[in-house]
Amino acid sequence: MYEEIEIDQEEGSASGYMTSTKDEQIGNIMSSWGDCISSPDEVTSFIKSKFESFAILNNINVCEGHRGEGIGTELLESFINEAYDSDIIVLEADILEAQDEGFDLQQWYEDNGFVTISHLDETSPIMVFPEEAGEELKDYILGLTAKATEDFELGM
């Protein structure tokens, strides 16, 4: 089950896809996050045990002349509605991408129900929707990180 999601409006667009957690794509994504997640294989197994499907939000773009009019929120809501079969929606937010002055992209996603679960680097938070699933995944990742730190300190 792989389905592209493309939402095009005159004022902006959103794109991504949804697929099954049984698809190898989830493992590829976790592997690409290997620097910020201590055990990508364990996180992949956890996701597969908890969720049947997921969506990746690749991009939301609002034309400059229409920013601040609620178009981004409308596009995000449309994407979430299109990804209705997905248990979780994941994105890597590029917070250094050109934004209007004073606009905090990460905070905007959080205000719309996403949870920051980790960071690829200081400019790329990994975020999950809905909030409950994001918190559960974040807690799991933090637990793995704490265990890895403890094992390292014990010389294991």
- pLDDT 10s digits, 9-36: 999 999 999 999 888 887 777 777 666 5
Q: Which CATH number characterizes residue 38's domain?
A: 3.40.630.30
Got the DSSP string for the chain?
-EEEEEEEETTEEEEEEEEETTSTHHHHHHHHTTTTSS-HHHHHHHHHHH-SEEEEEEEEEE-GGGTTTTHHHHHHHHHHHHTTT-SEEEEE--TTS---TT--HHHHHHHTT-EEEEESSTT-EEEEESHHHHHHHHHHHHHHHHHHHHHHHTT-
4 vs 38, which has greater pLDDT?
4
Residues 98, 75: Cα–Cα separation, whole Å: 18
> How many domains is the chain built from?
1
Show the domain range for 13. Answer: 2-153
- Indicate the pTM of the whole model: 0.84
pLDDT of residue 37: 63
Give the mean model confidence (pLDDT) for residues 93-116. 84
Lowest mean pLDDT of 3-7, 33-37, 134-138, name the range. 33-37
Cis before 130 (ω within 30):
yes
Mean of the per-residue pLDDT values of the chain: 85
